[in-house]
């Protein structure tokens, strides 16, 4: 089986798995306990969190330090940020290409009475900063000033990298919190948390060869957040519940490796991604690559071959030994077309035939060569079938 769905999740690095195993074998790990086992767990977790911060350019040991909140994953971290940042009143702005966990959280806030507005993107899938500034001004005019804007660092479907520095400058000028979902970025593009200009940043290690079941919400110095769940004093009451020390320890190893090996990994992934795209284009000149002229993650390609059906081809590829997706892993099991490509203005034929492929640093040239042949056969077969039907 050729695994090309690395935007959904990645295989755990054996080095990370070794760290996780050792942590699990170390004995009971409850950082809130006051006995020796608890103190040892607390020390291990704090060391791991500090290591994550150091890897991502944020010193968590300073008196006025940023905070790193442990969650169950990226979805919970995004929900916590959308519901808890800023005043209890105020408008929320979200880009129209955000992950479903952000869009659904914003929808929940809208049902609670908040005004929620979407920021447009260009046809290439880049957030329009002029529209962000317009919306902020419009909320002030309406007497409902924006309190929060949420813009992902790179899109999970197209890989298009977003203008976070520019967005941060606009938000800072107007006193608006900026939340960044950086779930897809670590190990692929440089990320210095203390310099990105965001109030909060989400990430989760299972996207870069770490364990699933744990995620993080980074808060800039001086930023507070309202809890979404209750029942304990852990993490200053912000996110109660016993912290998964072994997962945090493994996440620290995964983060350090992702950052240390980023340059080599990106070079490899870009070569493999380009090889995949070029191989498919040679066989299918009408293939559309979404966001191709924009700056993209080296790992990601989203393609459409008009005349084929994404769900049918997806199942055919699965049976033939290639794993990919038809959109976000959190929504690709449903029938609606991609909200990301819809926001980019893709036509119906492109929407109905869009597939996402994601390589990793562990993908091989042999896998890509085989994948090109298999994908080409299935696309050609389905395209011929569609023409016969028509």
Quote the CA–CA distance of 340 and 232 in Å, as a whole number: 38
The CA distance from 327 to 324, in Å, is 9
Q: Is 330 a catalytic residue?
A: yes
**Angle at the Cα of 352 from the Cα atoms of 355 and 128, rounded to 5 degrees:** 75
200 forms bridges with which residues in the sheet?
179, 219
CA 190, 193, 194, 200 dihedral sign is positive
Q: Dihedral, CA atoms, 167, 91, 128, 176, nearest 10 degrees?
A: -10
Q: Are 45 and 245 within 8 A, CB to CB?
A: yes
Of the listed 196, 302, 324, 330, which one is catalytic? Answer: 330
Half-sphere exposure (CA, 13 Å, Cβ side) for 172? 12
Give the contacts of 191 (CB within 8 A, at least 6 positions apart): 56, 57, 153, 182, 185, 201
Residue 257: beta bridge partners? none
Instruction: Give the separation between CA 45 and CA 68, rounded to whole angstroms.
Output: 11
Residues involved in catalysis: 330
């Amino acid at each position: 089986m050729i695994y090309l769905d690395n935007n959904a999740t990645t295989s755990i690095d054996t080095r990370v798995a070794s760290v996780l195993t050792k942590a699990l074998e170390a004995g009971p790990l409850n950082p809130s306990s006051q006995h020796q086992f608890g103190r040892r767990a607390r020390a291990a977790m704090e060391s791991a969190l500090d290591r994550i911060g150091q890897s991502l350019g944020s010193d968590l040991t300073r008196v006025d330090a940023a905070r790193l909140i442990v969650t169950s994953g990226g979805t919970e971290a995004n929900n916590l940020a959308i519901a808890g940042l800023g005043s209890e009143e105020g408008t929320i702005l979200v880009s129209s290409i955000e992950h479903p966990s952000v869009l659904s959280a914003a929808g929940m806030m809208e049902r609670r009475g908040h005004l929620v507005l979407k920021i447009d993107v260009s046809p290439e899938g880049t957030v329009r900063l002029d529209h962000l500034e317009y919306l902020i001004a419009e909320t002030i005019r309406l007497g409902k000033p924006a309190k929060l804007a949420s813009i992902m660092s790179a899109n999970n479907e197209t890989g298009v990298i977003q203008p976070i520095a520019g967005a941060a400058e606009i938000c800072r000028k107007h006193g608006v919190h900026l939340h960044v979902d950086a779930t897809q970025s670590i190990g692929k593009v440089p990320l210095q948390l203390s310099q990105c200009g965001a109030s909060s940043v989400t990430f989760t290690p299972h996207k870069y060869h770490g364990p699933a079941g744990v995620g993080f919400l980074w808060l800039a110095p001086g930023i507070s957040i309202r809890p979404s769940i209750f029942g304990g004093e852990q993490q200053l009451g912000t996110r109660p519940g016993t912290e998964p020390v072994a997962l945090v320890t493994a996440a620290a190893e995964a983060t350090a490796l992702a950052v240390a090996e980023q340059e080599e990994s990106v070079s490899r992934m870009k070569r493999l991604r380009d090889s995949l795209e070029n191989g498919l284009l040679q066989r299918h000149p009408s293939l559309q690559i979404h966001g191709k002229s924009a700056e993209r993650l080296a790992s990601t390609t989203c393609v459409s071959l008009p005349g084929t059906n994404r769900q049918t081809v997806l199942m055919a590829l699965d049976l033939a030994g290639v794993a990919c997706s038809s959109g976000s892993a959190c929504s690709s099991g449903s029938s609606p077309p991609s909200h990301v490509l819809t926001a980019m203005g893709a036509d119906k034929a492109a929407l109905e035939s869009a597939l996402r492929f994601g390589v990793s640093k562990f993908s091989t040239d042999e896998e890509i060569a085989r994948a090109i042949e298999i994908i080409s056969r299935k696309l050609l077969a389905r395209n011929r079938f569609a023409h016969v039907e028509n």
